[in-house]
Chains A and B, each alone.
Chain A
Amino acid sequence: DVVMTQSPLSLPVTLGQPASISCRSSQSLVYSDGNSYLNWFQQRPGQSPRRLIYKVSNRDSGVPDRFSGSGSGTDFILKISRVEAEDVGVYYCMQGTHWPPGTYTFGQGTKLEIK
């Protein structure tokens, strides 16, 4: 099974400063079509998760452009250019490449908080 490993697990950030979350997969996420199916989700306190980014770098509708995704192969990054108070929450990466017959696999989550 593919294992997704995020770092750091806790990320204190000053308002207005950038933030970066790493996600590493135990196997390459490049699919036979050449795409890497790596997604990022945000879960604000007390809310359900919301997808921010799909296929490494594509922002979902309504997601601010301060969020960006990058990476390839086994190493991926979610960047927030300037952290705002509403960005507090837990961020999860999730792979969709090795599926089926496997499963969607989430990272452990990274908790972003304001310093």
Chain B
Amino acid sequence: QVQLQESGPGLVKPSETLSLTCTVSGDFISSQYWNWIRQPPGKGLEWIGYISYSGSTNYNVSLKSRITISVDTSKNQFFLRLRSVTAADTAVYYCARGDETVFNGMDVWGKGTTVTVSS
């Protein structure tokens, strides 16, 4: 059974970099697509970006200048770095596996991790 687990600091200061890790078990990260999605408090879902099995990335255009998604296949982990954060980046951050057919979105989600941006 595929499982994803997010980890990282729960509190980040404004203007600093948010760094999160998603650890995948039950599947090889060198297959399919691996996504990050976020949900601000009381609001809806926003797709952040993905990294593919080939290492290519695709990012939400509204966040593209601040995002890096990378992968460590030896550890079966992928990562999110979001630079120059503000209070607007406060959210629950989810990692999710992409469907084999990329157009079908995400078929398995992690439980999410809460990140607060505050001094």
Contact = CB atoms under 8 A, between A and B. Distances in A.
Interface stretch (B19-27, B77-85, B106-114): B106-114
Interface residues of B, number: 22
Contact of B102 (A90, A96, A103): A96
Contact of A96 (B103, B111, B112): B103
Nearest to B47: A104
B104 interface: yes
A94 B45 CA distance: 10
Contacts of B104: 37, 39, 54-55, 96
B44 A49 contact: no
Contact of A103 (B60, B101, B107, B111): B60
A70 interface: no
A92 B58 contact: no
A40 B101 CA distance: 15
A92 B45 CA distance: 8
Given A48-B110, A48-B112, A37 B47 contact: no
Given A94-B45, A103-B58, 15 more contacts: A37-B103, A37-B104, A41-B45, A47-B111, A48-B110, A49-B45, A51-B107, A54-B104, A55-B101, A96-B104, A97-B103, A103-B59, A103-B61, A104-B105, A106-B44
Interface of B: 37, 44-47, 58-61, 94, 99, 101-107, 109-112
